[in-house]
Chain A
C-alpha cells in the first residue's frame, strides 16, 4: 500500500530531551515536507526537501533540524524540545520535486507533548 508513515504517533517528553520523529514514504516521491498544526494557526511548514541531500527552511524552522540522506526517509529532529513545540506534526510527500505546486500526501500525524 502506497503510504507515508510516521513514528511515533504519540509522544510525551520533557523539556530538553532530544527526540526524533521518523517519516518514511514508499512511493518513490522526490519532495517531502514537515508541517505542524496548531489550533487557530493552521498548518505551517517547518522544513522541506526537494531531493536527497537538499533541504530548506519553511515558515517555522526554529528549534528543528531535518536530514534527507535517502529518498524515502525524512526525519524531524528536536535537539532541545520546549513546551512551545507541543503540537500535531505531519509529514507529507509529493511525486514532483516542485512539490509546492503539486499534490501532497500526508502521513497520519504525530502528536507531541513537551512538559
Chain B
C-alpha cells in the first residue's frame, strides 16, 4: 500500500454542492495531517491542518480525521468555481518531512 493514497479524480461537482475529498494512509505513527490546494502551475497552498481525531472546521472547509481507520477527508461546502484545483493530502513523517499524496483534481461546474 502506498503511504498516502488519494483518488486522482477528476471529481466533478455542481456549484453550491458539497465536495468530498478522501485520503488514506498506511503509517499509523503519523500525528499530523494537512490539506493543500494547488492551482495548475502554481505552488501548493495550505488549507487545513488537523492533528487529533474528529472534525475541524474553517469557513467552508471541514477536515475530518479518523486515526483508527487511517483516513483523513476534506469537505468543501457551497463549492465555488474558484475551488476548482488539485487537492493534496499530506502527512508528517517524523520531524523530517511531509509525505504527499498525488492529489485529487476537483472541478466545480457553474
Which chain A residues have a beta carbon within 8 Å of chain B's beta carbons?
Answer: 33, 40-43, 45, 48, 50, 56, 58-59, 90, 97-109
Residue of B nearest to A45 (CB): B97
Interface residues on B, range: 20 to 34
User: When the two chains form their complex, are residues A48 and B96 in contact, meaning their CB atoms are under 8 A apart?
Assistant: yes
Given A105-B46, A106-B44, is A33 in contact with B97 using a C-beta cutoff of 8 Å? yes
**In the assembly, what is the distance between CA of A58 and CA of B96, in Å?**
8
Set of chain B residues within 8 Å of A90, measured between Cβ atoms: 43-44
**In the assembly, what is the distance between CA of A59 and CA of B49, in Å?**
23
Set of chain A residues within 8 Å of B32, measured between Cβ atoms: 101-102
Stretch at the interface among B18-26, B58-66, B70-78, B86-94: B86-94
**In the assembly, what is the distance between CA of A50 and CA of B93, in Å?**
14
The answer, among A101, A104, A108, for a CB contact under 8 Å with B95, is A101
Which chain B residues have a beta carbon within 8 Å of chain A's beta carbons?
Answer: 31-32, 34, 41-46, 49, 88, 92-98, 100-103
**In the assembly, what is the distance between CA of A91 and CA of B32, in Å?**
20
Set of chain B residues within 8 Å of A101, measured between Cβ atoms: 31-32, 92, 94-95
